[in-house]
A and B are shown apart, each in its own frame.
Chain A
């Protein structure tokens, strides 16, 4: 059985995620308190080259992955990201995780072609209270996000709002949901996920401990190698965590895919994460 056949069977059985994740970079214009990768301005960039991301996408199609994700760091600090995103989305449906704080009119104009492609921008928003949100994420984050989301929606680019953490009370969550609805994001495009106790979250004594069994296996390529999930290639104290490293080889994609499949082979069909961390 080829790696592709095995992958397709594992995806169908729910043993492996159907999305290939790409860590475009590790640097970021923000310094969120729970960041898994200790991203911030000035950290090591750990860039994945644009042509490598596109090559990975081509191989992902051939192997049977069904979608792509780009995360970091903040992907849009990478100058060519709008064009790279378009190239990726021409191959498979794409989600890009962004803080949406860099969307100047000029950058938005470059994002316009994405409206005609299967692209979703997942934007973090942690509270309807600007102070609470900005304490978790960075000063003025809230204002920039609530400015950017309607502009993107108006351009026809689907937006998903991601809320990280369990700090919101029911009433606060209801206010947050009212906010994202007002911004043009429907309930089905709002995800709430726990803080994972890795990276800066661990330094700040936040979040839930997550081992491999808690994290849905989704192949994730970074400049340092291929990892078990997008929650895996974390950094703590400036040091990359290797506990969920799958292989140092990224391409040909068949190699890390095969390694991931071997690690997941013992999972019974339908095995899912125990903490539902997505």
Chain B
């Protein structure tokens, strides 16, 4: 399915091995990036910081990632981050909503979803009114973080979609375990 070879741990440049798990398959993103060690070396720490625990709570971050991924049509990221969103406390109903017509989730999160939709409406700029609405709920530095998170998500959306990266087996297994269609 993938349009590029996804390297396994026993094939990869030895400097990239720390990015591979001791057991089991690596993320397809890691398997693809291992083709270019110098990119993997900087991209993974960047991804870990942008998508991992930070000053913005994980539930908020996963709303951004899932909504942007859904709007930009990235199957890989939607599936992977649906699971991540569940782990961050979103319900199946909420993740379904973020992939379609979102539920009303309250002022803060509704503002966030509206901002994400505007973020994806390229080439139009995000209306100032939506940024102002977001500012009612988030500090200045959080706006910066959310903008970079949305941007990094868009980057990975296009990366994963253009290379047709396959959804990881663990992600698909989780959908099955939850009784939800992937």
* Residues of A bordering B, CB below 8 Å: 212, 228, 242-249, 255, 259, 262-263
Contacts and interface: CB of A to CB of B under 8 A. Distances in A.
Nearest to B11: A242
Nearest to A242: B13
B14 A248 contact: no
Closest 10 CB pairs of A and B: A245-B13, A247-B38, A248-B36, A263-B15, A242-B13, A212-B14, A247-B37, A249-B38, A243-B14, A259-B38
29 contacts: A212-B14, A228-B14, A242-B7, A242-B12, A242-B13, A242-B35, A243-B11, A243-B13, A244-B13, A244-B14, A245-B13, A245-B37, A246-B13, A246-B15, A246-B37, A247-B36, A247-B37, A248-B35, A248-B36, A248-B37, A248-B38, A248-B39, A255-B38, A259-B15, A259-B37, A259-B38, A259-B41, A262-B15, A263-B14
Contacts, number: 36
Interface string B68-79: 000000000000
The secondary-structure label for the interface of chain A is mixed
Contacts of B15: 246, 259, 262-263
Contacts of B41: 259
By size class, the interface of chain B is 10 to 19
Interface string B27-45: 0000000111111010000
Contact of A243 (B12, B35, B38, B39): B12
B87 to A, nearest CB: 33
B31 to A, nearest CB: 12
A249 B42 CA distance: 14
A244 B36 CA distance: 12
A11 to B, nearest CB: 20
A212 B38 CA distance: 18
Contacts of A246: 13, 15, 37
Specify which of B12, B34, B37, B39 lies most central, judged by the most chain A CB atoms within 10 Å of its CB. B37
A228 B12 CA distance: 13
B43 to A, nearest CB: 13
Interface string B1-39: 000000100011111000000000000000000111111
